[in-house]
Chain A
């Protein structure tokens, strides 16, 4: 039923979080906030 499904989903979420942490996405919590303010306007 849905219960085992939710368990599987939780497992997937956990795994993807683990991968994200390992690849260093959580190391810098301030930089990305500044980054979005920069526009990359590349003239085509």
Chain B
């Protein structure tokens, strides 16, 4: 991981704690575990010393990689007015209080261990448990020995940020529901195993079991099955009742009927002492359905956490300038206390807590969270700025014009919410068929019972029950949720979360795929696209100079240059001019780096022609000293390497890909050519995107939209299926049907393939169920099937169907092999794919840069 440049020098150039480059002037040093380590700032040094002093330096050995820590300090609870502190923790008796926290910065198990161990070492802490899956912590402490404020400070001392939050009734409810489901499922499984055991004698005996022993078995089974039916089976009964009340019987009705019918009949036989019992079928049936529902819930819970982070886009605090502009006094308040007309100061690198108008300062603001565009826009006095955007260059003073619900960010959220509720409901396949099936089945059962009443009254009930039991609505109502659940689970393991239950079904029917450009097909990060140097061998030195000049800046260009991880040279008189560039004095020469016209002011030479010729979609920044032009560094948004493969996969599936983007014609065209898409629309506003999708839908297409920035949110809601990448702005993850975690586009192709496979399996299951029912029901209705045979038939059928559905969990196997293959064959031949537009950037790699220096 360390570049050759670093290995050549004897002093490590990266901070031991956070991994960021150490500024050249830094001499932060400390002794950790017997070695002298260097740090980038006092903050990291303090954190590392704290960790070491607590005896927890194993943390550095355990963690997976260093992550840059948040630079801006969140206000501790003590900064917030007294009134709010009381709400943060609640009393649980015995002088103990409990506080729930959301944690920032957890990215591996080592962090969990560190935080828990560290907290337990603090005075007054009784219990500290961190939930890795949800990034939440629960801390119990003695009110007399410590306080929420000190706990937050303690956590801050080891470099993590904690937000106190109120779990709220909704979350408590969700937790109770999930626990209840777990208990029901466990009880059903336990009961199932017991009852199976009791049923074994009846199954395997050749001559039949003695009546008294069979009675014992039956009674024992009854005792076990009763709680299973009443507790574990309760959801089916309530669901069936609800469905019947609205005249739309769903899956729950046949399940409830079958379960209650079989149980009551079996109980009756047990009491009377004659006949067959079906306790095993009842418990097994309940258990299997609950297992499927439990798996579904797990996957959905994981996806649901993405929604939580939306609350954290708005910064919790603001610096209010009281009496501005006369006085310079400042006060920190929570964002909710801001009022229209307040003047606030926004630091560089900080997000804006409210909508407003700039009254002082010149800077550039990155509105990525709202527009998905990572290019910052210059803002100066009189310009409007929006809540949620991030101030990049220099501090601004802003007069607030809208707070909280009135901000643009909140308005966009509402728009998305409304669009989401207007989406056409796609009923589940199983429910539709099951509804009709249930109705027919009930009628049939009634008819059979009546018919047999006339023929042979004694057999009426057993035959009717056989019909009900053998018909196995489970083949329909079990197969589909099981298939969906195991497919969702398999996808989840491969980092694709299906947030909505309809996601898979919609994905399997997709005909057209609409892709966003920025952030989806491209990485959304500004990268160095290429360097044209006056003297070609000097390219890496020019990059080094540019990186040195930009070292203090939070501008995305600076971030792009920092990719090269080179030690900045000694520089002085560094000044940044907003909207134009930076200048500084390096080794006796004054350089300027930035916009051509501004740099030209100081450079005596004439601008070389090669520096002016820039490909579409790229932004140039020029580097010059006072005497000569040195280089033109082109920044661009890189097309994701796997985009080409994705488009190929899509075409292979017979889908029609297209691009809709808000960017200019030239940029979109070049990206379209680069990935191999023929149809694209540029300069599209959000409402245009939505209209284009609606047009396609009107022509009968099933549209999948793959997007990123919040601008896409309304169109994501309009599409039949919405997929977003895990790097997307939080809000769009909320409206998506499926979220692909991480940055790998090719997973979308896998998701679509998986969806098709899933529905192929579901169709197979339904076909089997139909065949089975068509054969078995007449047999049962005509009295050829004893209830025992019916029970066996039903159990076997449901096992077959569930087993088929479980095949989908092994999605990873086939895909892993396929992916390994394409990985090896794609890389070397990538450059020879359909020719990119002229000016396709050649990315200067670190190795090249190091080699040339």
Binds A, one of B180-188, B630-638, B815-823, B835-843: B180-188
Q: Taking the nearest CB of chain B, how far is it from the CB of A8, in angstroms?
A: 11
Beta-carbon contact of B190 and A18 below 8 Å:
no
In chain A, what residue has the closest Cβ to B220?
A: A3
CB within 8 Å for A21 and B62 given contacts A28-B133, A31-B132: no
Q: For residue A4, which residue of chain B has the nearest CB?
A: B220
User: Nearest residue in A to B116 (C-beta to C-beta)?
Assistant: A35
**Chain B contacts for A6, CB-based, 8 A:** 194, 197, 220
A18 to B231, CA, bound (A): 13
Q: Cβ of A38: which chain B residues have Cβ within 8 Å of it?
A: 58, 62, 109-110, 113
Contacts of B131 in A (CB 8 A): 27-28, 31
Q: Contacts A22-B179, A26-B179, A38-B113 known; A31 to B133 CB distance under 8 Å?
A: yes
Counting chain A residues whose Cβ lies within 8 A of the other chain, the interface size class is: 20 to 34
Taken residue by residue from 78 to 119, chain B's Cβ proximity to chain A (1 for < 8 Å, 0 otherwise) reads as 000000000000000000000000000000111011000100
A14 to B187, CA, bound (A): 7
- 1/0 contact string of B784-815 vs chain A (CB within 8 Å): 00000000000000000000000000000000
* Category for how many chain B residues contact A: 20 to 34
Interface flag for B274 (CB, 8 Å):
no
B positions within 8 Å CB-CB of A: 58, 62, 108-110, 112-113, 117, 130-134, 175, 179, 182-183, 186-187, 190-191, 194, 197-198, 216-217, 220, 223-224, 298
Residues of A contacting B191 in the complex (Cβ-Cβ under 8 angstroms): 10
Is the pair A35, B109 in contact by a Cβ cutoff of 8 Å? yes
A13 to B191 CA separation, bound complex (whole angstroms): 11
Q: Are A41 and B133 in contact (CB under 8 A)?
A: no
Contact of A21 among B130, B182, B197 (CB under 8 A): B182
Contacting residue for A41 out of B58, B110, B182, CB 8 A: B58
**Interface contact B216-A3, CB-CB below 8 Å:** yes
List 14 interface pairs A-B (beta carbons < 8 Å), by A numbering.
A6-B194, A10-B194, A10-B224, A17-B187, A28-B134, A31-B109, A31-B112, A31-B132, A33-B109, A34-B132, A35-B109, A37-B109, A38-B113, A40-B117
* Residue A44 at the chain B interface, CB threshold 8 Å: no
Is A34 a contact of B216 with CB atoms below 8 Å? Answer: no
A residues less than 8 Å from B186 (CB atoms): 14, 17, 21
Distance of A44 from chain B, by nearest CB (Å) = 13
B223 with A7: CB separation less than 8 A: yes
A29 to B298, CA, bound (A): 10
Question: B179 near A35 (CB under 8 angstroms)?
Answer: no
- Would B220 and A7 count as touching, CB distance under 8 A? yes
Cβ contacts under 8 Å, B224 to chain A:
7, 10
Cα distance, A40 to B186, chains bound together (Å): 33
Question: Which A residues have a C-beta under 8 Å from some C-beta of B?
Answer: 3-4, 6-7, 10, 13-14, 17-18, 21-22, 26-31, 33-35, 37-41
- B62's contact among A3, A10, A29, A37, by CB below 8 Å, is which? A37
- What residues of B have a CB within 8 angstroms of the CB of A35 in the complex? 109, 112-113
Cβ contacts under 8 Å, B223 to chain A: 7
Closest 7 CB pairs of A and B: A34-B109, A31-B132, A38-B113, A28-B131, A30-B133, A3-B220, A30-B132
In the assembled complex, the CB of B59 is this many whole angstroms from the nearest CB of chain A, namely 9
Chain B nearest CB, measured from A42 CB (Å): 8
Complex CA gap A25/B653 in Å reads 44
Q: How far is the CA of A37 from the CA of B108 in the complex (A)?
A: 11
Residue of A nearest to B113 (CB): A38
Q: Is the pair A10, B179 in contact by a Cβ cutoff of 8 Å?
A: no
Assembled-state Cα–Cα distance A33/B112 (Å): 12
Question: What is the chain A residue whose CB lies nearest that of B109?
Answer: A34
Q: Which residues of A contact B62 (CB under 8 A)?
A: 37-38
Q: B175 and A31: CB pair below 8 A?
A: no
Which of A6, A13, A14, A41 has its CB near the most chain B CB atoms (within 10 A)?
A14
* Cα(A1)–Cα(B517), bound, Å: 72
B489, chain A: closest CB distance, angstroms? 13
A34: chain B residues within 8 A (beta carbon): 108-110, 112-113, 132
Given A3-B216, A31-B131, A31-B132, list of 7 further CB < 8 A pairs? A3-B220, A7-B220, A27-B179, A34-B132, A38-B109, A38-B110, A38-B113
**Closest CB of chain B to A25's CB: distance in Å?**
10
Query: What residues on A are CB-neighbors of B198 within 8 Å?
Result: 3
Q: Is the CB of A27 within 8 A of B175?
A: yes
- Judge whether B220 and A26 touch: CB under 8 Å: no
- The smallest C-beta distance from B187 to any residue of chain A, in angstroms, reads 6
Tell which of B108, B134, B190, B197 touches A14, judged by Cβ atoms closer than 8 Å: B190
Measured in the bound complex, the distance between the Cα atoms of B109 and A38 in whole Å is 8
Q: Which residue of B lies closest to A39 (CB)?
A: B58
Q: Give the distance in Å from the alpha carbon of A38 to the alpha carbon of B216 in the complex.
A: 51
A4 to B622, CA, bound (A): 87
Nearest residue (CB) in A for B133 is A30
Closest-by-CB residue of B relative to A17 is B186
A contact residues around B132 at 8 Å (CB): 28, 30-31, 34
Q: What residue of chain A has the Cβ atom nearest to residue B217's Cβ?
A: A3
With a CB–CB cut-off of 8 A, which chain A residues contact B183? 17-18, 21
Instruction: Kindly state the separation between the CA atoms of A27 and B174 in the bound complex, as whole angstroms.
Output: 11
For B194, the chain A residues whose CB sits under 8 A away are 6-7, 10
**B130 and A31 within 8 A (CB):** yes
- Shortest beta-carbon distance, B583 to chain A, in Å? 48
Q: How far is the CA of A10 from the CA of B227 in the complex (A)?
A: 12
B117: chain A residues at CB < 8 Å are 40
A36 to chain B, nearest CB (A): 9
A16 → chain B closest CB, angstroms: 11
Task: Report B175 CB to chain A, min CB distance, Å.
Answer: 7
Q: Is the CB of A26 within 8 A of B190?
A: no
Which residue from chain B places its CB closest to the CB of A38 in the assembled complex? Answer: B113
Q: Give the chain B neighbours of A30 by CB distance below 8 A.
A: 132-133
List of B residues within 8 angstroms of A21 by Cβ: 179, 182-183, 186
What is the CA–CA distance of A36 and B120 in the complex, to the nearest angstrom? 18
Q: Smallest Cβ distance from A29 to chain B, in angstroms?
A: 7
Least Cβ–Cβ distance between A6 and chain B, in angstroms: 7
B130: A residues at CB distance < 8 A:
31
A29 CA / B112 CA spacing, docked (Å): 14
The answer for the CA separation of A21 and B185 in the assembled complex, in Å, is 12
Chain B: minimal CB distance from A12 (Å): 11
Residue from A6, A18, A22, A38 whose CB has the most chain B CB atoms within 10 Å: A38
Name the distance in Å between B844's Cβ and chain A's nearest Cβ.
38
> Which B residue sits closest to A40, measured CB to CB?
B117
Interfacial chain B residues near A37, Cβ < 8 Å:
62, 109
Say yes or no: A26 contacts B113, CB within 8 Å: no
Shortest CB-to-CB span from B798 to chain A, Å, is 23
CA separation between A18 and B223, bound complex, in Å? 19
A39 to B110, CA, bound (A): 10
Q: Report A-chain residues with C-beta under 8 Å of the C-beta of B112.
A: 31, 34-35
Task: Name the distance in Å between A10's Cβ and chain B's nearest Cβ.
Answer: 5
- B108 → A minimal CB distance (Å): 7
- Chain A, residue nearest B110 (CB): A38
- Which B residues touch A4, using CB under 8 A? 220
CA distance A4 to B221 in the complex (A): 11
- The closest CB in chain A to the CB of B223 belongs to A7
Residues of B within 8 A of A39 (CB): 58
Looking at the assembled complex, report how far the CB atom of A31 sits from the nearest CB atom of chain B, in whole angstroms.
Answer: 4
